[in-house]
Amino acid sequence: MSISNYRLQTKVRLQPLVLFQIISAYERRPKTAKMVVGTLLGRRDRCNDTIDITNCYAVHHKEQQIGDMEQFKLDTGYVGEMFDLNQVTYPQEKIIGWYTTGRTLSRSAAALHAFYSRECGDMQPLHLLVDTSLRGGRLTTRLYCAVTMGVPGGTRGLLFTHLPLLKVSTEGDEEVALRLMQNQALHPTKQLGRMLPELVHVLEATRELEQKLDLVMRYINDVLSRKRRPDNNIGRALHEALTSVPMLDADSFRTMFNANVRNMLMSITLASMIKTQMELSEKLSYLPDN
Amino acid sequence: MANRGGRHARNEDSENTINYVQCDGLAVMKMIKHCHEESSNMDLAQGALLGLVVDKCLEITNCFPFPKSGDETMDEEMYQLTVMRRLRRVNVDHLHVGWYQSSDVGNSLSLALLESQYHYQTSIEESVVVVYDTQKSSRGFLCLKAYRLTPQAIQMYKDGDFTPEAFRTLKVGYESLFAEIPIVIKNSPLTNIMMSELNELLPEDKGHNFLDLGTASVLENHMRSLIERVDELYQEAVRYNKYQQVVFKQDTEKHRALAKLAAENAVRTSKGEPTVSEEEVIKQFRPLPVPARLTATITSGQINTHAQHIAQFCSQSLAKLFITESLQNAKETKEIK
């Protein structure tokens, strides 16, 4: 149980799915519980020294106040069973820690740490704390790691140190879903997030692009008319963006453009022709045999 | 009598129809994760959907993946039951409302899908199958579709009769096998808050790969699948033509035999002997089995979806091409100046 398991260079990446699950578990908690506890699953990459938290599941627990003592019961059998079930579909995910919701570390953190360090094997368990009470107007997510401290041979305790949680990692396609849900979150009055055909997405993107261009133009105009102080970094970034567009001479661009447009139009014509033919054959098959 | 019964059945069915499917963000993310892990293994990802039915809306609140079929250590039913029981402990909806499947370039409409959905829909009235297209989503468009079998398709499957007459009487075509139901993604307010937090953590420059101009490979893939389907449909057509030819030949032979018999009978009556009945001759020509039209219909349905995908894809790439044209024009005018 050494602290050398987590050096400062260790990168911990969190996948958005974990946060979704935690919030869903918190919303579905039994009425008597004030917080939710669960197991974190993930992968550990020793060569790159990264830890990926990819999945999690909630665990049933009970808190009781008996006299002065607070008792905390966790359904340990459940932890094992859910882990086995998950292994069937995702064999590379191992238990790497546990999560709770709440404002600060609970008193039972030490006991949970002891239990999970047994489950994790040779690794130190990570602890993810999600603040669902929205203190400070934000949903803070913090990652902790336990370090033993105290006088050797005397009283020992656990200190939970805060680890930097690196940016959330996504695989390319989750981003698409996330963006769709984000748009729907930002404009709740619009119609609910329906799956729209692709053309509408491109149109919306062009509109967004137009807005961004407007913003940049306004900034440039302001700088030119000396209303704003010019910033070298922004200027350099703009220059980079403008020069990154590949410069094709007019002829080659024309040929490429025309060829592509012709391909697209032909495909569309063929596709509609196929559809008409299918419909016709269906109608014909309805005619009686004779 | 039959008409009134039919109308009554339709009224009953319309009470059980689902107008739209509402999906939780959590279920969507889990589906995407599972389908992507499996797509690297070239396997079909399948799983169950959990949720509940509210009025005309089917809410999907959670989902879990099915284990790969190669693993024999765990019985599939036991696995499902155990997972559902465990999830129930943490207050997750445990009503099994459907299943999901990943698909590759829209090859989803298959006989297996039809059969599974039929079994689901007969046991659970409101179940849907959600198809997630991994290829399309990697190009930047989230593609999640929900399908249900139409009542006519269920009727036909129940009879187990796939002859052309059955198709005609029930008016089932490739378009009326599956009904597509719109999906809506809805998140709770707390999740929305979490998403705004996530927004800050996500890198800003990703998520725009649907503006990519590279269209050739995608179009080629679509075309290839389309050509394969058309070939299959052609085979079916050839088979049907052969059957018709055989039937025709059989018919002519039957007529010839009957004519011969009639002549024979005339001779016999002139001689005063009893006539040979026609039935014995007809019995020699047994009716041939009609080839099933089911695969042909499914193939036509697939061709239809392919054609639709291609049309949509081309329209949006045309839009992107015109955007680049305007950019090029702007550059050219700058050069001229």
Q: What is the 3-state secondary structure (H, E, C) of B23-82?
A: EEHHHHHHHHHHHHHHHCCCCCCEEEEEEEEECCEEEEEEEEECCCCCCCCCCHHHHHHH
As a whole number, mean pLDDT of residues A243-265 equals 83
Question: Least CA distance to A80: which residue of chain B?
Answer: B86
Regarding whether B188 and B63 lie in a shared domain, the answer is yes
- How wide is the angle at C-alpha B243 spanned by C-alphas B174 and B236, nearest 5°? 35
Between B67 and B5, the more confident residue is B67
**B190 band by pLDDT with thresholds 50, 70 and 90:** confident
Please choose, from the candidates A54, A56, A18, A82, the residue with its C-alpha nearest in 3D space to the C-alpha of residue B87.
A82
Question: Least CA distance to A246: which residue of chain B?
Answer: B328
pLDDT digits (tens, 9 = 90+) for A93-110: 888 888 888 877 777 777
Regarding whether B182 and B58 lie in a shared domain, the answer is yes
Regarding whether B294 and B161 lie in a shared domain, the answer is no
Regarding whether B154 and B44 lie in a shared domain, the answer is yes
As a whole number, mean pLDDT of residues A53-81 equals 78
Using DSSP's 3-state secondary structure scheme, residue A107 falls into coil
Does residue B283 lie in a domain region? Answer: yes
**What pLDDT is recorded for position B70?**
58
* Interchain pair A134, B193: CB under 8 A: yes
Confidence check: pLDDT of B88 > 60 = yes
Does residue B292 lie in a domain region? Answer: yes
Q: Which of A120-129, B46-55, B156-165 has the lowest mean pLDDT?
A: B156-165
Q: How many CB atoms lie within 10 A of CB B151?
A: 19
The beta-carbon neighbor of A27 closest among B74, B188, B300 is B188
Min Cα separation A89/chain B (Å): 5
Regarding whether B298 and B167 lie in a shared domain, the answer is no
Min Cα separation A68/chain B (Å): 28
Share of chain B above pLDDT 90, in %: 0
Q: Which of A16-25, A110-119, B135-144, B181-190 has the lowest mean pLDDT?
A: B135-144
Phi, psi of A198, deg, nearest 5? -65, -35
Regarding whether B195 and B48 lie in a shared domain, the answer is yes
Residue B206 tokens read as 């990703």
Q: Which of A107-116, B71-80, B217-226 has the lowest mean pLDDT?
A: B71-80
Please state, in angstroms and rounded to a whole number, the distance separating the CA atoms of residues A89 and B34.
Answer: 9
Regarding whether B194 and B237 lie in a shared domain, the answer is no
Q: Which of A12-16, B8-12, B114-118 has the lowest mean pLDDT?
A: B8-12
Please choose, from the candidates B186, B27, B19, the residue with its C-alpha nearest in 3D space to the C-alpha of residue B92.
B27
**What pLDDT is recorded for position B7?**
39
Regarding whether B195 and B246 lie in a shared domain, the answer is no
**What pLDDT is recorded for position B2?**
41
Selected for mutation to probe chain B from A39, A165, A198 (highest B CB count within 10 Å) is A198
DSSP B90: T
CB-side neighbour CA atoms (13 Å) of A121: 4
**What pLDDT is recorded for position B10?**
39
Min Cα separation B39/chain A (Å): 12
Confidence check: pLDDT of B176 > 70 = yes
**What pLDDT is recorded for position B243?**
85
B8-39 burial, b at 16+ Cβ within 10 Å, e below that, comes to: eeeeeeeeeebeebbbbbbbbbbbbbbbbbbb
Does residue B224 lie in a domain region? Answer: no
**B5 band by pLDDT with thresholds 50, 70 and 90:** very low
The beta-carbon neighbor of A176 closest among B22, B207, B211 is B207
State CA A9 to chain mean position distance: 21
pLDDT digits (tens, 9 = 90+) for B249-283: 888 888 888 888 888 888 888 887 777 777 776 77
CATH number of B106's domain:
3.40.140.10
The beta-carbon neighbor of A17 closest among B22, B33, B332 is B33
Structural domain range at position B281 = 231-329
Q: Which residue has the tokens 């967004």?
A: A208
Q: Which residue has the tokens 């930002």?
A: A186
- How wide is the angle at C-alpha A127 spanned by C-alphas A121 and A133, nearest 5°? 155
Confidence check: pLDDT of B308 > 50 = yes
Does residue B199 lie in a domain region? Answer: yes
Min Cα separation A158/chain B (Å): 30
Confidence check: pLDDT of A80 > 80 = yes
* Interchain pair B90, A58: CB under 8 A: yes
Pairing of strands B183-186, B20-24: parallel
**What pLDDT is recorded for position B3?**
41
Q: How many CB atoms lie within 10 A of CB A256?
A: 15
Does residue B9 lie in a domain region? Answer: no
**What pLDDT is recorded for position B67?**
78
* Interchain pair B321, A274: CB under 8 A: no
Regarding whether B148 and B45 lie in a shared domain, the answer is yes
Min Cα separation A154/chain B (Å): 41
Regarding whether B255 and B156 lie in a shared domain, the answer is no
**What pLDDT is recorded for position B116?**
82
Residue length of chain B: 337
Q: Provide, as residue numbers in chain A, all residues whose Cβ is less than 8 Å from the Cβ of B62.
A: 24
Phi, psi of B288, deg, nearest 5? -85, 150
C-alpha dihedral, B52 to B29 to A50 to B195, nearest 10°: -100
Using DSSP's 3-state secondary structure scheme, residue B319 falls into helix
* Interchain pair B319, A59: CB under 8 A: no
Selected for mutation to probe chain A from B318, B329, B335 (highest A CB count within 10 Å) is B318
Q: What ipTM was assigned to the predicted interfaces of this complex?
A: 0.79
* Interchain pair A26, B315: CB under 8 A: no
* Interchain pair B196, A185: CB under 8 A: yes
Confidence check: pLDDT of B32 > 70 = yes
Give the domain-ending residue among B189, B205, B221. Answer: B205
Q: Provide, as residue numbers in chain B, all residues whose Cβ is less than 8 Å from the Cβ of A198.
A: 141, 210, 312-313, 315-316
Residue length of chain A: 290
* Interchain pair B185, A167: CB under 8 A: no
pLDDT digits (tens, 9 = 90+) for A137-195: 777 778 887 777 777 776 667 777 777 666 666 666 677 677 777 766 666 544 544 56
Please state, in angstroms and rounded to a whole number, the distance separating the CA atoms of residues A158 and B149.
Answer: 59
**B204 band by pLDDT with thresholds 50, 70 and 90:** low
Does residue B125 lie in a domain region? Answer: yes
Q: Are B72 and B114 in contact (CB under 8 A)?
A: no
**A207 band by pLDDT with thresholds 50, 70 and 90:** confident
Q: Are A12 and A128 in contact (CB under 8 A)?
A: no
Residues 6+ apart with CB under 8 A from A53: A12, A13, A14, A15, A18, A40, A41, A42, A96, A97, A126, A128
Regarding whether B54 and B169 lie in a shared domain, the answer is yes
**What pLDDT is recorded for position A206?**
82
**What pLDDT is recorded for position B11?**
38
Confidence check: pLDDT of B12 > 80 = no
- Give long-range contacts, CB 8 A cutoff, 24+ apart: B236-245: B236/B295, B236/B296, B236/B299, B237/B296, B239/B291, B240/B291, B240/B296, B243/B288, B243/B290, B243/B291
Number of domains in chain B: 2
Does residue B13 lie in a domain region? Answer: no
Q: Exposure of A177 by Cβ count < 10 A (0-12 exposed, 13-18 middle, 19+ buried)?
A: buried
Min Cα separation A226/chain B (Å): 24
Confidence check: pLDDT of B8 > 60 = no
Q: What residues are paired with B148 via a beta bridge?
A: B179
Residue B130 tokens read as 């959600």
* Interchain pair A181, B86: CB under 8 A: no
Between A236 and A164, the more confident residue is A236
* Interchain pair B185, A180: CB under 8 A: yes
Selected for mutation to probe chain A from B19, B46, B198, B320 (highest A CB count within 10 Å) is B198
Regarding whether B191 and B306 lie in a shared domain, the answer is no
* Interchain pair B92, A253: CB under 8 A: no
Phi, psi of B22, deg, nearest 5? -110, 125
**Across all residues in chain B, what is the average pLDDT?**
77
Query: How big is the A-B interface in CB pairs under 8 Å?
Result: 240
**What pLDDT is recorded for position B14?**
43
Does residue B157 lie in a domain region? Answer: yes
Greatest mean pLDDT range, A155-169, B9-23, B295-309: B295-309
**What pLDDT is recorded for position A173?**
64
Residue A134 tokens read as 């929205």
**What pLDDT is recorded for position A86?**
84
Q: Are B276 and B268 in contact (CB under 8 A)?
A: yes
Confidence check: pLDDT of B159 > 80 = no
